[in-house]
Amino acid sequence: MTGADRTAPGVDPIADGAALGAHLVTRGGRATVVTLKIDGRTIRTDEEASVLEAARDAGIHIPTLCHHPALDPFGACRLCIVELERGGRKGHVASCVTPVQEGAVVRTNTRSVRLIRRTLLDLLLARCPDIEILQELAAEYGVTEPSYPVEDEICFLCGLCVRACREIVGIEAIGFTERGAESKVVPPFSQPSSRCIGCGTCTTVCPARTLELSAVDSVGSMHGESGDSRTVKCRVCDEHYMNR
Ligand code: SF4
Ligand code: FES
């Protein structure tokens, strides 16, 4: 069966000007295509794409905080929530961890979706009131003052730094400690990590811009709690780049 044959009954990809997502790939010369509707548009995409990827390929905006295209989906922030209907069943799902499904109908901006996102952003802003990206997103959903008790955390536990260190750099110099809202991102045993190479990938992916990698007089300091560690100086540019 070809991808075209698999179009769901009642869904006409051509009539709606079907969007062909960047995730549409072929295997063994045959397209593995799933057809679904997102916000009334017919989308054809690879069966391995997530709902978030399919929507973004079609230029449909869904807000995210813990998603990065280079990393495995994590499903931590739930901000990418959408309404998904299929086979007579309807519910809310996190679009970054939900694969596309043949014949599904997805709505990304319903009243209930906006309400859930607003509540999540209200909670996150209460936890991290000074983080710019949260202020901006919360304002988009009408939250300027949190309605929950305000804390002064600077990390909203999206996990991007931890996953980037593990999945991109290939080491696990940082990880989560504690549980739930008490979680923190720290090096093992909250001690300077001998595994850290000071690449700064964690600082680059952090949407909160919370992480800092600094080198002062050849002493590197990472992630606030890592303490100090010696760094190696590049002989060409004179910058300190690697923890010893
Ligand atoms: S430090 Fe930044 S990247 Fe890491 S979990 Fe916290 S907010 Fe996310
Ligand atoms: S982006 Fe989907 S749960 Fe965070």
Q: How many Å apart are CA 152 and CA 150, to the nearest integer?
A: 7
Residue 189 confidence (pLDDT): 77
d(CA 198, CA 4): 49
pLDDT tens-digit map of 4-33: 333 333 333 333 334 455 555 444 455 589
pLDDT above 90 for 85: yes
CA distances from 157 to 117, 118, 237 (A): 17, 18, 34
Min mean pLDDT across 91-95, 163-167, 221-225 is at: 221-225
Top pLDDT among 199 and 60 is at: 60
Angle, in degrees to the nearest 10, between helices 111-127 and 132-140: 150
CA of 184 to the centre of ligand 1 (A): 9
Which residue has a Cα nearest atom 6 of ligand 1?
155
Residue 209 Cα to ligand 1 middle (Å): 8
Residue extents of the structural domains in the chain: 3-109, 160-243
Over residues 32-42, the pLDDT tens digits come to 899 999 999 99
What is the 19 CA–ligand 2 centroid distance (Å)?
23
Dihedral over Cα of 113, 119, 120, 121: its sign: positive
The yes/no answer on whether domain 160-243 falls in CATH 3.30.70 is yes
**Tens digits of per-residue pLDDT, 168-205?**
999 888 899 888 878 888 877 777 677 788 788 888 89
User: Please, what is the end-to-end C-alpha distance for the chain in angstroms?
Assistant: 57
Residue 231: pLDDT band by 50, 70, 90 thresholds?
A: low
Ligand 1 atom closest to the Cα of residue 160 is 3
Does ligand 1 come within 6 angstroms of the Cβ of 165?
A: no
For the chain, the residue count is 244
Is the C-beta atom of 78 inside 6 A of ligand 2? yes
Residue 182's CB: how many other CB atoms inside 10 A? 8
Using the 8-state DSSP alphabet, how is residue 10 labeled? T
Higher pLDDT, 156 or 244: 156
- 237 pLDDT tier (thresholds 50, 70, 90): low
Indicate whether residue 137 lines ligand 2 (CB < 6 A): no
Structure token pair of residue 62: 């869904």
> Long-range contacts made by residues 50-53, C-beta under 8 angstroms, separation at least 24?
50/95, 50/96, 50/97, 50/98, 50/99, 50/100, 51/82, 51/84, 51/93, 51/95, 51/96, 51/98, 51/99, 51/100, 51/104, 51/106, 52/80, 52/95, 52/96, 52/98, 53/21, 53/23
Compute, in angstroms, the gap from residue 149 CA to the centroid of ligand 1: 21
Query: Please, are residues 169 and 205 in contact by the beta-carbon 8 Å criterion?
Result: no
Please work out whether the CB of residue 141 comes within 6 Å of at least one atom of ligand 1: no
Q: Which atom of ligand 1 is nearest to the CA of 156?
A: 7
pTM for the model stands at 0.79
Query: Of all residues in the chain, what percent carry a pLDDT higher than 70?
Result: 73
The answer to whether residue 67 scores a pLDDT higher than 90 is yes
- Hey, do 3-109 and 160-243 end up sharing a CATH topology, with the first three levels equal? no
Cα–Cα distance, 130 to 49 (Å, whole number): 34
In the 8-state DSSP scheme, what is residue 99? B
pLDDT at residue number 32:
86
Out of 3.40.50.2000, 1.10.3330.10, 3.10.20.740, 1.10.10.10, the CATH code matching 3-109 is 3.10.20.740
- Give the integer Cα–Cα distance in Å for 120 and 126: 10
Best probe residue, ligand 1, of 201, 211, 213 (max atoms within 8 Å of C-beta): 211
